[in-house]
Structure 1
Amino acid sequence: MTGVAIRGILFDKDGTLVDFDATWSAIAQRLALEAAGGARETADRLLDRAGYDVAQDCFRADSAFAAGTNADIVALWYPDRTPQERQRMIAHFDEVTATEGARCAVAVSGIPHAIARLHGDGYRLGVATNDSTSGAEKTIAALGIAQMFVAAYGYDAVAAPKPAPDTVFAFCDLTGLKPSEIAMVGDNGHDLEMAHAAGAGLAIGVLSGTGTRETLARRASVVLGSVAELPDWLAGR
């Protein structure tokens, strides 16, 4: 997946563009307490089940929180609800996470400058997240970088979200680029798995989120500290 001409870049959102822990800890706590009926111990168990380490106050790599969708969280936390009730809960989660995720969004250091430079260099930029499409759009708007992206895709914008290749294909359909001309950038394994499944030109791991060098290296073309390093790395290929 190296040595190819890259013309488009898809970015994961949380942990890649957005500081995962700073943005999502309070929101996860709120939703878990709601699911637990206000019971702190029950909420902590739900958080742990979804991938939040309460003792360390951080999210675990490749967990439901780090890599899944709101539908995955609802399935974990509300296993006895009917399909209709789960759909209502998913809609509720989508609304809360879109609104609060944008309101609380903290950019990874250097993101605005890096995105502006990549845009100026002529790359077509998109967001590929397992959050909702509304959440992605509101967040990049809140960060002041939306005008530099041609599209934002949430789990609800494609038939199958990450790690399926659908989002890469949708981005290619929109931009006219080939998968081999796309770089996928993310902080978790499912980001890189999507890149490989789609035949993307590059699968780039970043250490700014929940993933570690160990969890990313075996699937990545390269592992960078953050997106802030990406313009120079691409320029030096």
Structure 2
Amino acid sequence: MTDIRGILFDKDGTLIDFNATWFAAADAMALVAAAGERALADELLDVAGYDFSIRRFRPDSVLAAGTNADLMALWYPRHAEAERRALLDEFDRMTASGGLAEPVALPGCQVALSALHSAGYRLGVATNDSTGGAERTLLSLGVAQMFEAAYGYDAVANPKPAPDTIHAFCDLTGLKPAQLAMVGDNRHDLEMARAGGAGLAVAVLSGTGTLESLAPLADVVLDSIVDLPAYLARESAA
């Protein structure tokens, strides 16, 4: 392992419980898209990645891994650009309020982040949520002061899996990509790590991704970020 000095975290499924936090917001957006028709809203949720049979989001689906813009393109393929822009602004407001204003932290999340921050790692968030939504999440979790930046899909020209966020965080911190670890629960997190030349691609099983889907792209697979401080300490000492 290279000399890791900075860590970019995915947000949903990595820092917060994705299913517990996001279903209410996804359901509200689907109802808006369906003009209040319950059956149609359920169809939209299904096509975007919610599995009603197990009440969980499917790995790497639009709801699990995409942006609100991706959701717009899926649900409103024939709308004019101006209509999409207005609806996207509404969806961004919805995901930055309501249930997402009180995200459900994954067990041990704050303790792990505190340990990493105390150890001198420079921390950032790379999410396909909006930047405002990411910042509100960090504030709600009480960890915002530990992070140097939060990058949403609207903070870079090309969101995950493109490497733009890695480049932006390196520009901010002065670190090289090889000095960064990217931590996430979906393939697009690890694809960004590879595309950006990150020194370490860490998969966590605390979100929607599975061992089978993540292992081929990861340098290491952990149960959650709770295991990350000890893993980095061991590797640094080796």
TM-score class, shorter-chain normalisation, is: over 0.9
- Indicate conservation of the 8 Å contact 2:14/2:207, yes or no: yes
Aligned partners of 1:28, 1:105: CA distance in 2, in Å? 14
Classify the secondary structure of the residue corresponding to 2:203.
Answer: strand
- Indicate conservation of the 8 Å contact 1:184/1:195, yes or no: yes
- Indicate conservation of the 8 Å contact 1:116/1:148, yes or no: yes
| Residue type at the aligned position of 2:153 | Y
**46, 49, 55: which one pairs with 2:47?**
49
Alignment of 1:141-220 (within 5 A): 141-220=139-218
- 1:90 pairs with 2:127: no
Alignment TM-score, normalising by the size of structure 2: 0.97
- Indicate conservation of the 8 Å contact 2:25/2:100, yes or no: no
| Aligned residue in 2 for 1:120 | 118
Classify the secondary structure of the residue corresponding to 2:77.
Answer: coil
| Residue type at the aligned position of 1:20 | F
Aligned partners of 1:53, 1:125: CA distance in 2, in Å? 33
Alignment of 1:66-105 (within 5 A): 66-100=64-98, 102-105=100-103
Aligned partners of 1:117, 1:82: CA distance in 2, in Å? 48
Give a deviation string over 1:127-164, Cα, whole Å, max 9, x none.
00000000000001000000000000000000000000
Shift in Å, 1:101: 5.2
Aligned partners of 1:181, 1:60: CA distance in 2, in Å? 31
Q: CA RMSD in A?
A: 0.8
Alignment TM-score, normalising by the size of structure 1: 0.98
| Aligned residue in 1 for 2:107 | 109
| Aligned residue in 2 for 1:224 | 222
How many residues of Structure 1 are paired with residues of Structure 2 in the alignment? Answer: 235
**Once structures 1 and 2 are overlaid, which stretch shifts more, 48-57 or 120-129?**
48-57
Shift in Å, 1:104: 3.1
- 1:133 pairs with 2:131: yes
Q: Can you give the 5+ residue segments of structure 1 that lack an aligned partner in the other structure?
A: none
Shift in Å, 1:114: 0.3
Aligned partners of 1:36, 1:230: CA distance in 2, in Å? 41
Aligned partners of 2:166, 2:77: CA distance in 1, in Å? 31
Q: Can you give the 5+ residue segments of structure 2 that lack an aligned partner in the other structure?
A: none
Q: Which runs of 4+ in 1 moved over 6 A?
A: none
